[in-house]
């Protein structure tokens, strides 16, 4: 392959900057990272050949500052710029500024981006190109009253969303006039802070849809090819949670029709580089154009998995003027892939979490079945300034079922300490019977968790697994400690040919069970829960977090479970199973007897305090001094 560029600058941060650097290194291209004061020690800065500070933590003064980024280009002599996604990736003014200084934008041209990156303009173009579109208002919404008038004309429910950008930011569903007014205010504010553009559009909200998108790749010689679809229906607040490729809902005829419409739309505006046409698809496979993202998508790795293409490499080659080295007939589907977006957030309250990653171990698979796209390492800081994405965890398998199993195993083995994370939700969804059946829609989370997600609900089997492992943990720790104290072995090793029995009370969520653990002279452990016997085997080392255990009942039926050991508690252990943290009590008979005398901790009266549920900045105050504030 001919040479493309000697040096490129990545106008982004975090995992996507690391992702671009990885491909650039493979292609023999030197890289320049940009960073804010908050990101001085970030992984993408360490991985790049050069790095330039572009300002303070606030995005408007650093990653969104075109003059600062242009300065970094001039300083380093970078020939081209990859924008990643978000920030300036769909800002045509940025493309224009790069043109002015002779730097190549690794993405579409300014005209195509301006036309298709704008949701309002792209919808008008799509209608002219005879692409199926959703009914709506194609002009700019001027104020909240205007939004209400439009919504009434279209008919509720409506979607009010930012004209620029994506990622679920600046999007709200309104079911009445009051919600439409609120949606206008919140969406325009979010759009301005996220994309520097507060324009909004209003369109009909299609109920019970599936969110399915077509990946495009085109060159500057007029060739545009569509790749197999991605399904992005598992969403919360319009933010994608889990994606998969291909979709269980799309047949070959629909895939072809959607792909050809997407290609026709791209050719209509002279589009090249990577881009994505997003569609809403109803239960009858009728599809409607939603928007075009004129950039690399967050979920591009799953398309790479099933096509064996490196989309970042293709973008770089297209930007260097090279023709695509493949045609539409060369594109085949290889297996199935999933992406779980691992975030630092409370999955029950859906609020971001900040802090330092005190322990961080990414899962690994065999035969390229697990992929982690991340921009952090152990010790990294999750701050208030940027999106709390930790990693895009992807798995692949020959079939959908095998790809799901690989994802379950990967989530079970993902160790994250120091921040709250959403693995409990991801793990619950990926193993949900309805999800496994493929009968999903964008309403999946709202329908399956109407009261909100509350963590894994213990079944008889998972409760037994949890309590048996908790008893085993206690026995192993106690045996190790007694061996050490008696001089029977070095630290971490048990004395040989020793046997011992532990009588315990183990409990979770207030429900206690009698347990007996016996260690035989052969080192094997047996545990009984309320008189029901099991043999339990595990090669768990006490200093490690992940416990792989096999529980076998008296009838010889065996089941494997993966549990994470998180911490000791005063009377037990904190363990993680199926992604959810459980506080398991483990008490000796004496502790059980004395525990009834322990007084409950008094609850702190918070009625006269104002507590923020998440870190952030106060942008408005809705009360004034002297005003009465009542509960509710």
Tell me, yes or no, whether 97 lies in a domain: yes
Residue 53 has pLDDT above 90, yes or no: yes
Enzyme catalytic residues: 295
- Supply the pLDDT for residue 474: 95
pLDDT digits (tens, 9 = 90+) for 500-523: 999 999 999 989 999 999 999 888
Q: Classify residue 544: in a domain, yes or no.
A: yes
Please, are residues 341 and 241 in contact by the beta-carbon 8 Å criterion? yes
User: CB of 140 within 8 A of CB of 123?
Assistant: no
Q: Which of 6-20, 310-324, 442-456, 603-617 has the lowest mean pLDDT?
A: 603-617
Tokens standing for residue 249? 């809902």
CB-based contacts of 175: which residues, under 8 Å, 6+ apart?
156, 157
pLDDT at 492 over 50: no
**Is the predicted pLDDT of residue 80 greater than 60, yes or no?**
yes
Residue 411 in domain: no
Identify the pLDDT of residue 621.
Answer: 87
Q: Cα separations (Å) of 320 from 80, 93, 105, 221?
A: 9, 21, 10, 12
Q: How many CB atoms lie within 10 A of CB 41?
A: 11
In the sheet where 30-35 sits, what is the strand order?
A: 50-53, 30-35, 7-10, 80-82, 104-105
Quick one: pLDDT band at residue 462, thresholds 50, 70, 90?
very high
What is the number of domains present in the chain?
A: 2
Whether 208 has a pLDDT exceeding 90, the answer reads no
What pLDDT score does 365 carry?
A: 84
Token pair listed for 20: 């671009």
- Residues 432-445 as b/e (b if ≥16 CB within 10 A, e otherwise) read eeebeeeebbbebb
Q: Is the pLDDT of residue 489 over 50?
A: no
The region of weakest confidence among 16-30, 92-106, 193-207, 582-596 is 193-207
| Position 486 pLDDT exceeds 80 | no
Q: Which of 77, 106, 135 is the last residue in one of the domains?
A: 106
For 67-101, give one letter per residue: b (16+ CB within 10 A) or e.
ebbbebbeebebbbbbbbbbbbbbbbebbebbeee
Last residue of a domain, one of 88, 106, 124: 106
The lowest-confidence range among 83-87, 378-382, 487-491, 597-601 is: 487-491
**How buried is 211 (Cβ within 10 angstroms: 0-12 exposed, 13-18 middle, 19+ buried)?**
buried
Output the DSSP codes for 184-213.
Answer: HHHHHHHHHHHHS---EEEEEPPSS-EEEE
Residue 144 lies in a domain: no
CATH code of the domain in which 549 resides: 3.30.700.30
Last residue of a domain, one of 83, 106, 129: 106
Q: Is residue 453 part of a domain?
A: no
- Domain range for residue 43? 7-106
| Each residue's pLDDT tens digit, 346-404 | 999 888 999 999 999 999 988 899 999 999 999 999 999 999 999 999 999 999 999 99
What average pLDDT does the chain have? 92
pLDDT for res 491: 44
pTM: 0.87
Residue 622 lies in a domain: no
Question: Is residue 265 within 8 Å of 89, Cβ to Cβ?
Answer: no
**Is position 242 within any domain?**
no
Please name the residue that has the structure tokens 């019970």.
208
CB 203 within 8 A of CB 154: yes
Output the domain CATH number for residue 89.
3.40.50.20
**3 state DSSP class of 75:** helix
Q: Would 600 be classed as within a structural domain?
A: no
Q: How much is the average pLDDT of 53-61?
A: 96
Per-residue pLDDT, 136: 82
pLDDT at position 567: 95
C-alpha of 18 from chain center? 16
State the pLDDT at residue 3.
Answer: 86
Mean pLDDT of 582-604: 90
């Amino acid at each position: 392959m001919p040479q493309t560029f000697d040096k490129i600058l990545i106008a982004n941060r975090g995992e996507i900057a690391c992702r671009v650097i990885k491909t650039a290194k493979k292609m023999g291209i030197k890289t320049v990272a940009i960073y804010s004061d908050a990101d001085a020690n970030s992984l993408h800065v360490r991985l790049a050949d050069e790095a330039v500070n572009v300002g303070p933590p606030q995005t408007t003064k650093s990653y969104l500052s075109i003059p600062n980024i242009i300065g970094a280009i001039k300083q380093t002599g970078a020939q081209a710029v990859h924008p990643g996604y978000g920030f300036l990736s769909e800002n045509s003014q940025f493309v224009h500024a790069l043109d002015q200084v002779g730097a190549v934008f690794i993405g579409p041209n300014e005209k195509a981006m301006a036309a298709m990156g704008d949701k309002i303009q792209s919808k008008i173009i799509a209608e002219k190109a005879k692409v199926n579109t959703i009914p709506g208002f194609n002009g700019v919404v001027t104020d909240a009253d205007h939004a209400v008038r439009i919504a009434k004309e279209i008919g509720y429910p409506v979607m009010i969303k930012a004209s620029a950008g994506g990622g679920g930011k600046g999007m709200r569903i309104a079911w009445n006039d009051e919600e439409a007014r609120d949606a206008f205010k919140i969406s325009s504010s979010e759009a301005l802070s996220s994309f520097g553009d507060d324009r909004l559009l209003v369109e009909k909200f299609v109920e019970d849809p599936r969110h399915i998108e077509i990946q495009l790749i085109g060159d500057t010689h007029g060739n545009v090819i569509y790749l197999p679809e991605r399904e992005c229906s598992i969403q919360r607040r319009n933010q994608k949670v889990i994606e998969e490729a291909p979709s269980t809902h799309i047949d070959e005829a629909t895939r072809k029709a959607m792909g050809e419409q997407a290609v026709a739309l791209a050719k209509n505006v002279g589009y090249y580089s990577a881009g994505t046409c997003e569609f809403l698809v109803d239960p009858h496979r009728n599809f409607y154009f939603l928007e075009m993202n004129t950039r690399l998508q967050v979920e591009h790795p799953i398309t790479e998995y099933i096509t064996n293409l490196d989309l970042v490499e293709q973008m770089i080659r297209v930007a260097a003027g090279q023709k695509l080295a493949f045609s539409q007939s060369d594109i085949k589907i290889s297996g199935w892939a999933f992406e779980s977006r691992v975030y630092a957030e409370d999955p029950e309250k859906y609020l971001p979490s900040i802090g330092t990653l005190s322990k961080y171990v990414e899962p690994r698979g065999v035969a390229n079945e697990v992929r982690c796209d991340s921009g952090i390492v152990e010790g990294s800081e999750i701050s208030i300034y940027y999106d709390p994405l930790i990693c895009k965890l992807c798995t692949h398998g020959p079939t959908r079922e095998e790809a799901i199993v690989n994802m379950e195993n990967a989530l079970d083995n993902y160790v994250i300490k120091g921040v709250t994370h959403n693995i409990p939700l991801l793990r619950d969804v990926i193993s949900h019977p309805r999800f496994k059946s493929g009968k999903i829609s964008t309403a999946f989370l709202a329908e399956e968790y109407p009261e909100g997600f509350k963590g894994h609900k213990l079944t008889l089997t998972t409760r037994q697994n949890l309590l048996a492992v908790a008893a085993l943990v206690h026995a192993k720790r106690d045996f190790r400690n007694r061996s050490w104290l008696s001089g029977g072995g070095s630290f971490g090793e048990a004395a040989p040919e020793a046997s011992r029995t532990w009588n315990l009370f183990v409990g979770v969520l207030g429900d206690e069970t009698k347990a007996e653990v016996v260690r035989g002279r052969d080192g094997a452990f047996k545990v009984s829960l309320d008189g029901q016997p099991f043999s339990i085997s595990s090669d768990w080392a006490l200093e490690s977090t992940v416990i792989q255990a096999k529980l076998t009942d008296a009838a010889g039926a065996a089941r494997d479970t993966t549990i994470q050991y998180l911490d000791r508690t005063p009377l037990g252990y904190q363990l993680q199973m199926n992604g959810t943290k459980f506080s398991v009590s483990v008490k000796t008979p004496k502790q059980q007897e004395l525990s009834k005398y322990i007084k409950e901790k008094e609850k702190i009266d918070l009625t006269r305090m104002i507590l923020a549920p998440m870190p952030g900045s106060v942008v408005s105050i809705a009360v004034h001094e002297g005003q009465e504030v009542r509960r509710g």
